[in-house]
Amino acid sequence: MSKLSEDQSNEIEEARSNVSSTLRAVSPGMEEILYRSMPVLDHGFVRVVDYMGNDGAVVQAARVSYGQGTRQVSEDRALIHYLLRHWHTTPFEMAEIKLHVKMPIFVARQWIRHRMASVNEYSARYSVLDREFYIPRPEHLAAQSTSNKQGRGEVVGPQEADRVLRLLVEDAERNYDHYLEMLNSKEDGTRVDDARTGLARELARMNLSLNYYTQWYWKTDLHNLMNFLRLRADLHAQYEIRVYAETILDVMKRWVPITHEAFVEHRLEAATFSGEALKALRRLLAGEKLEQSDTRMPKREWEEFRAKLGIA
């Protein structure tokens, strides 16, 4: 489990002890968790550092109103569903969230591909990284999928798992030992050898492996957060980023419960059918029996089509 240092925990609780008055819109569900660390993977976390707006901010902007813009809950709910169903995006850009996230570097490399966000990352040019690296739990050590070139298949056997875990731990530890050695630094930050200055941090870091943890402040708006979640909370996303997305999906539910509900309904549980798929659908509804060869869909789309409809 991810452990914060005592200093870090104190910083967080001090931040939580500062209660202020504000005229701004507030999200009660977010106030409860603000600043607190939600553990993810073995050393990672997600912390909400700040937010702006709530469900009301979406309807307020959609209505370009002078006050809060909210009316009856049922009207607001219908509007939010309508906006999402019809792919309106700008009202959802009007609410903002800021997270502090700690994650393995290979997860950070996928995450950063979402460009519509602001990022401040902990700098390994400026500071020494901690001896913290990700080691999967045995049940997540999956073999290469045989059907999907970029996915996972079955979990590997216990013997193979042991071997993999041993290699991962040994290499990560050794690489860190040598990182410190190049820096001429002991674990506590003091020098090993006063005669050496040690290699520049920006160089020594290259010896660390991609499972080392990094951290950043990440800020985005609700629209772009949903784009992130749609891709990364999906079953095709790599497990190690999906658990972050799932944690953030829970945060979203606290923050903007109505938008969350509409997002699940119109994005996560929705499915898109191509022109050819729609033709096939109409024929099925008219009572025809269809094989792939009766349609113009390629094999893979045909299988996806059947999966969406729950046809065996």
In sequence order, which residues have a C-beta less than 8 Å from that of residue 289 and are 6 or more positions away? none
Q: Does 186 bind a copy of itself (CB under 8 A)?
A: no
With CB under 8 A as the contact rule, the residue among 49, 253, 254, 257 that binds a copy of itself is: 49
Binds a copy of itself (CB under 8 A): choice among 42, 130, 246, 301: 301
Shortest distance, position 39 Cβ to a copy of itself, whole Å: 15
**Binding residue numbers for dUMP:** 110-113, 121-125, 205, 232
Closest CB to a copy of itself among 72 and 272? 272
List the binding residues: 90, 110-115, 121-125, 205, 221-223, 227, 232
Find the binder of a copy of itself among 42, 181, 246, 250 (CB under 8 A).
181
Site for a copy of itself, residues 191 to 210, rule: CB under 8 A: 196-203, 205-210
Tell me how far, at minimum, the Cβ of 147 lies from a copy of itself, in Å.
12
- Count of residues engaged in binding a copy of itself, rule: CB under 8 A: 138
Q: Is 152 left (phi over 0), alpha (psi -120 to 50) or beta?
A: beta
Q: What is the Cα–Cα distance from 150 to 133, expressed in whole angstroms?
A: 23
Which residues belong to the annotated binding site for FAD? 90, 113-115, 121, 221-223, 227
Question: Which residues belong to the active site?
Answer: 232
Q: State which of residues 138, 142, 246, 257 lies at the interface with a copy of itself (CB under 8 A).
A: 142
**Least CB distance from residue 69 to a copy of itself, whole Å?**
9
Binding mask 244-263 for a copy of itself (x = CB under 8 A): --------------------
DSSP for 156-181, please give it.
PPHHHHHHHHHHHHHHHHHHHHHHHH
Q: Which residues contact 224 (CB under 8 A, 6 or more apart)?
A: 93, 114, 116, 117
84 vs 223: CA distance, rounded Å? 10
Q: Which of 34, 8, 42 is nearest to 243 (CA)?
A: 42
Nearer to a copy of itself, 1 or 64 (CB): 64
Which residue carries 């941090």 as its tokens?
201
- Looking at residues 2 to 41 of the shown chain, list those that interact with a copy of itself (rule: CB under 8 A): 4, 7-8, 11-12, 14-16, 18-26, 31, 34-35
- Applying CB under 8 A, among 105, 131, 138, 290 the residue interacting with a copy of itself is 105
Q: How far apart are CA 258 and CA 200, in angstroms?
A: 50
**Least distance (Å) between residue 131 CB and a copy of itself:** 15
Among 43, 55, 103, 104, binds a copy of itself (CB under 8 A): 104
Token pair in block for residue 265: 């309904």
Cα–Cα distance for residue pair 145/154, rounded to 1 Å:
7
| Element at 47 (helix H, strand E) | strand 44-52
Q: Report the distance separating Cα 189 and Cα 187, nearest Å.
A: 6
The footprint of a copy of itself on residues 146-175 (CB under 8 A) is: 146, 149-154, 156, 160, 163-164, 167-168, 171-172, 174-175
Give the length of the chain. 312
Cα separation, 82 vs 311, in Å, equals 29
